[in-house]
Every structure is written in structure tokens, then in C-alpha cells.
Amino acid sequence: MKRLAVSFTALLAIVFAFTTAGASAGSKMDAVIDELLGTPYKYGGTTTKGFDCSGFTAYVFAKFGIELPHSSSAMAEKGEKIAKEDLREGDLVFFNTSGNGISHVGIYVGDGKFAHASTSKGVVITALSDKYYAKRYVTARRILGDSAYEKIAVEQPAVQEQAEKAAGAAEGTEA
């Protein structure tokens, strides 16, 4: 029975470590975005007191020394055009939410999702397949070159190490 309890504890530790890693993924960009989730929406906002969509996007990229304009339509002129099926973490995704061309931007975070400042919910992560955004999707742009992508948007080994340490600690409780 004790062995079963220890095995269950080890399993919980592993699940917790990977669940935590998924919610606060392991890349540097994910860490910045995770800190900003829940920040309120503010028209023209460019600080942690409140963001609009382009202010949020520019703020995240500025954390890595990459300057972007404070306009979703101007951002859509930067970088390289990317097909939706070729999206990778850190790519910018653009939407026509106003009926007058590109008017919303977000940062692709993987698994078919993007982080953005929503007028109603503030900084959130939303599925590209969300009914509202799916029909308003316009294009995507790749701002990060391969080197910057590897440093900023790729999951860092520390997350895997955290999971292994948690599993080892749980197994170490066996006496």
C-alpha cells in the first residue's frame, strides 16, 4: 500500500511539473507572456497598466530588443509573410476586426493559439480556431530570424529539468 501511495505521489509530481510547464511554457517569450496574462485592455496602452493589441505585441518584443511600431497594420509590413500552416512560436498573426483591413495583432504561442490584448478580456490566449478570430484572420508575419527564434521562442531545457527533479523528489520519498 505504501508503494502505491509513493507511486501515486510520483505520478502527481510529474503531472504537476508538466502541467505547470504547459501553462507557463519554457521559452523566454512564454515567460514574458505568462507574466502579462490578465493585464487589462487599454486603448493606446503600452505598459503593464494596460495594453491594446499592438502595445502588448510591441512590449513583448521590446523585452528582447526588437522594436516594432505601435500599429497592427504597420506591424503587418514587417518581417516575412508566413502561411498559416507554417506558423511557429513568436510569429505575428493579424486580423481584420474592424471591417477596414488589418486592425488586430497577436503573437502565435503554438498549439494553434495566440496571445493578444482583447478589448473585453485584456491579455489572453485564444485559439486561432475561435469562431470570431477564424473568420477574421488575414495573414501572419515572421519577425524572428532562426537565431533569435532559438534564443527567445524555443522551450528551454530548464522546464524538462524541473519535471525530472519533481519526479526524482517524489521517488526519493520512498523508504
Q: Where are the beta strands (DSSP E) in 41-99?
A: 46-47, 50-51, 80-82, 92-95
List 10, 39, 50, 104, catalytic entry:
104
CA distance 85 to 88: 9
Do 36 and 114 contact (CB within 8 A), yes or no? Answer: no
List 13, 33, 53, 75, catalytic entry:
53
Catalytic site residue 70? no
Q: Name the nearest CA neighbour of 117 among 44, 33, 56.
A: 56
CA distance 42 to 97: 17
Burial track 37-73 (b if 16+ CB lie within 10 A, e otherwise): eebebbeebbeeebbbbbbbbbbbbebeeeebeebbe
List 17, 105, 116, 159, catalytic entry:
116
Alpha helices (H) along 24-121: 28-36, 53-62, 72-75
Hey, which residues are catalytic here?
Answer: 53, 104, 116
